[in-house]
Structure formats: structure tokens, C-alpha cells
Amino acid sequence: MGRKRARSGYFEAVRGGGAAIALDRGEISILRSLVVQLLELVGPGPGAADADADPLAELFAEGPSRPPDDPALARLFPDAYEEQADASEFRRFTENDLRARKRDDALAMVRCLDRGGAQLDLTPEESRQWLGTLNDLRLTIGAYLDITEDDDNELYHLPDDDERKPMVVAYLWLGALQESLVETLMP
């Protein structure tokens, strides 16, 4: 007896704690494109341009002390404290690591998508990475669309000819994927 085939567009639990999902080529292409754009937004990381950079220097590199100007980056890397001095200090010592984790998670998702096939089987670690990247994609799109916590946002009722409609549809689709993965991973 072969392995159980996942339903299209829904995550299902697999033996060992991971998850599986069936995606068609179009869905894989869209997801991959969105993740690559997220990687471009987050940036290559310190020392990426200099192959001879000292790896120990990166351990002691300080990050930025001001929040990003880009609304999506500001949402991905929010201030941790209300008081500006505390927020700046916290950001300085944590943002580089947070960016690195977001890059690692997104790259893991791209690698999974590049494996292709009718069904993607994710390990428990890959499932966690996908969950983080799906969340980051939704936060990014939500920031650009100025989506708030208001469930009755007018963006959900846009006419088909509105230029924002494809991104709203992507936002909702990513939310459904994220919810399906969360439900799958819950004990």
C-alpha cells in the first residue's frame, strides 16, 4: 500500500510529525515567486557580498537601531518596546538574527518547492519553516494593502477590475494555507 495522497491545497499530517500538501504547477510557481520577493525584501544578510568576510565578525555585528521605513519591513521587524531607547537597543542586537532566520526559512521553502512533484512532503522542521514563511508573506502583503485586524475590510469585496484584487486573493489563499498547516501540526 502506497502513501496517502494529500488533498489539493490542504496540508495533511504525515508519519513522523511533518505535513504534506498537493499543489499544482501554477500554485508552486506563485508561491515560489512570492517567497523570492520576500527574500529580496529581507535582504541578503551581512557579509553576503564579501566571500572573504570574517565569519566571527558577523557574530558581533550590530544591527540597525531604527525601524525600517518600508511598511512591510516595519511589520516584519516591529519595535519590541514602546520607549524608543529600549526599542533601538533591542533592535540593534536582535534584528540581524531575525532576518537570518526569516531568510533561512524562506530558502527552505524554495528548496521544498523546487523538489516539485504532485505532492510535497515536509519534515517537521520544514513544516515549521513553511509556517514562518507563510506568516511573513501574509504580513508583507497585508502591510502593502494596509489590511488591519478588521475582518470586514472593504478590500475583501473589491470589484474584479481593481488592481489590488490579485494581491488580496493571494493574501486570503496564503491565510488558508497557513491555517491548514497550523491545524495539521496541532497535536
Helix (H, G, I), strand (E, B) or coil at 129: helix
The residue among 165, 175, 167 whose CA lies nearest residue 136 is: 175
Q: What's the pLDDT score for residue 56?
A: 60
> Which of 18-27, 55-64, 91-100 has the largest mean confidence?
18-27
Q: State the Cα–Cα distance between residues 19 and 15, nearest whole angstrom.
A: 8
With cut-offs at 50, 70 and 90, classify the pLDDT of residue 1: very low
Q: What is the pLDDT of residues 35-93, one digit of tens each?
A: 999 999 999 865 554 555 666 655 556 666 677 788 998 889 887 877 877 878 888 88
Identify the pLDDT of residue 2: 39
Provide the 10 A C-beta neighbour count for residue 171. 21
d(CA 73, CA 91): 13
pLDDT value of position 94: 83
Q: What is the pLDDT of residues 134-187, one digit of tens each?
A: 999 999 999 999 887 765 577 778 899 999 999 999 999 999 999 999 999 997
4 grid coordinates: 496517502
Beta-sheet strands, E only, within 41-165: 120-122
Strand-pair category, 19-21 with 120-122: antiparallel
Length of the chain: 187
CA within 13 Å, CB half, 67: 19
Report the alpha-carbon distance of residue 131 to residue 138 in Å, rounded.
11
Evaluate if residue 15 carries a pLDDT over 50. yes
